[in-house]
Amino acid sequence: MHPDRKNNPGTSQTAYAPIRDVANIPRFRKTALGILVAASLQFPEMNCAAAAVLQEQAAGLGRFSTARAHDPVQNIHSWGRCPRTLGIAGAAMSDASQSNLVSAETDRDLPRHVRNGFMRYRNFQPLTQGGEAVLRTCQDENLGRTVVMKTLQPQFQNLETYRKRFLREARVTAQIPHPCTIPVYELSRDSEGNAYFTMKRLQGRDLSEILDQISEGDEETIRQFPLPTLINALIHCAQCLAYAHQHGVVHRDMKPANIMIGRYGEVMVMDWGLAKVDNMSDNDEVGQLLRSGQQTIPGRLTGRGDVQGTPYYMSPEQAVETGDVDERTDIYNMGIILFEVLTSQSFMSGRNFKEIKRRLLEDPVTSPISAAPNKGISPEFNAVCLKALQREPKNRYQNMTELENDLRAALLGQTVSVYHEPAWVRAVRFRQDRILSFAAIFWLFIGFLAGLLLQQLP
């Protein structure tokens, strides 16, 4: 039994030190600041704008000071809201593994005979080793930067299926130039003729590790990754997948282990080796491998006790040979991830592939609220998750942008397309909105009076 995670969305607050020594501020600025301060004290959503203005005044005139409380609803400037610091794991930690840049390295001359291709890499260090590939860090001698080099394990180098997937991963990743795809620098062959590609080195944690630690009750991880932060990461993933779908690419292997959250707020969708591109058959070697039950997709959430190596994140259409795999498959996979983010529980379990396939095709879907009744999951998030997890693709969201929009709306407390509030809830909300509008007028009036008083100062 996994411990419940305490959802603590927090509040956004701004505290202002007493206003003093304002004689040198122009009169129109005094009035504007009075209104802004009064409004921001009443409405937390205006704090970013107020803090920005007051901080500008502090920098230029030394008149004000501000203190910002932690706000977990981060990085939403692309939604028409103010930018905020993305407070996820490691965001405030220094990168001890990298030294400061120095001119002796950045300004050194380029040799007349430049080493290109594999010859320019040195100082190889093991990073990680999976079932098929080996990752090492190395130094790019020409640019002076550390990169990651990926190669196939020796036993897979000459197998066409694995080689094809390896090359597809490199090229698909490189040809989807989205902020949430990892930059690929080079695809070539090493001194022994084996294929490799180099890419940006990421430092962070994958979502699978984060969810495992949350389910175990790790307080530091819970503090660093509140629910709004994780939902925000899923929104970034949905944007990336929508971009890929527009270019005819279906990921087919979305799972928490393939979502990386970097130390400075980066969100990356990883591992495009199983991607389906235009004109590719649904019954290709990847589909056959998934249905065989031999594809290594580690089970998630510590202590589940199930057999590892079975496809816990497969969609129903991936489980049958006649299934049509398209962008709605990625939507189903995102629904599973959303379920696990909301509940801190595994969505799927089973002793073997046959049992998992039966449950996918026959068992009713468990709602997040039913799975975790004590989590305080909102009906909006519950409805969004269930919509993405519909067994029939035609009953799901029909494109990733629809899912993205509803995730964003649910995070901001707005209406989502798949949930209709009861009439009494709408009535209460309307009443609250009316009260809020009168309060807005009142506090803006108080701010105006405060500005007038400031003008009277000598």
How does pLDDT run across 393-428, given as a tens digit for each residue?
999 999 999 999 999 999 999 999 999 877 656 555
Asked whether residue 358 is assigned to any structural domain, the reply reads yes
Asked whether residue 70 is assigned to any structural domain, the reply reads yes
Asked whether residue 420 is assigned to any structural domain, the reply reads no
Percent of the chain at pLDDT above 90?
46
Asked whether residue 425 is assigned to any structural domain, the reply reads no
Residue 122 backbone phi and psi in degrees, to 5: -145, 175
| DSSP strand pairing (14-16 vs 66-68) | antiparallel
Asked whether residue 189 is assigned to any structural domain, the reply reads yes
CA triplet 50, 51, 55: central angle to 5 degrees? 120
Do 362 and 265 lie in one domain? The reply is yes
| Cross-strand bridge partners of residue 204 | 262
Do 318 and 269 lie in one domain? The reply is yes
Residues 424-450: what's their mean pLDDT?
Answer: 66
Token representation of residue 293: 């039950």
Do 132 and 59 lie in one domain? The reply is no
Which of 32-46, 64-78, 240-254, 266-280 bottoms out in mean pLDDT, i.e. has the lowest?
64-78
Do 316 and 397 lie in one domain? The reply is yes
Nearest to 353 by CA among 392, 297, 304: 297
Nearest to 197 by CA among 231, 232, 165: 165
Do 227 and 352 lie in one domain? The reply is yes
Nearest to 131 by CA among 167, 156, 160, 168: 156
* Number of residues that make up the chain: 458
Residues 9-32: what's their mean pLDDT?
Answer: 39
Tell me: pLDDT of 66 over 50: no
Residue 188 backbone phi and psi in degrees, to 5: -160, -160
Do 216 and 303 lie in one domain? The reply is yes
| Cross-strand bridge partners of residue 195 | 189
Q: What is the pLDDT of residues 316-338, one digit of tens each?
A: 998 886 668 899 999 999 999 99
Domain boundary, last residue among 166, 200, 234: 200
Residues 331-348: what's their mean pLDDT?
Answer: 96
Eight-class DSSP state of 278 = T
Asked whether residue 172 is assigned to any structural domain, the reply reads yes
Strongest mean pLDDT among 47-61, 81-95, 175-189, 417-431:
175-189
Tell me: pLDDT of 194 over 50: yes
Domain boundary, last residue among 138, 165, 200: 200
- 235 or 37, which is more confident: 235
Do 294 and 349 lie in one domain? The reply is yes
Given pLDDT bands bounded at 50, 70 and 90, which one contains residue 437? low
Other Cβ atoms within 10 Å of 445 Cβ, number: 12
Tell me: pLDDT of 80 over 50: no
Residues 189-214: what's their mean pLDDT?
Answer: 93
Do 215 and 320 lie in one domain? The reply is yes
Do 218 and 245 lie in one domain? The reply is yes
Do 155 and 281 lie in one domain? The reply is no
What pTM value is reported for the model? Answer: 0.68
Asked whether residue 305 is assigned to any structural domain, the reply reads yes
Q: For all residues of the chain together, what is the average pLDDT? A: 75
Tell me: pLDDT of 296 over 60: no
Given pLDDT bands bounded at 50, 70 and 90, which one contains residue 283? low
Q: What is the pLDDT of residue 435?
A: 53
Structural domain boundaries, residue 183: 115-200
Do 289 and 392 lie in one domain? The reply is yes
The number of folded domains in the chain is 3
Do 216 and 321 lie in one domain? The reply is yes
Which of 58-72, 104-118, 195-209, 433-447 bottoms out in mean pLDDT, i.e. has the lowest?
58-72
Domain boundary, last residue among 144, 172, 200: 200
- CATH code at 255? 1.10.510.10
Asked whether residue 421 is assigned to any structural domain, the reply reads no
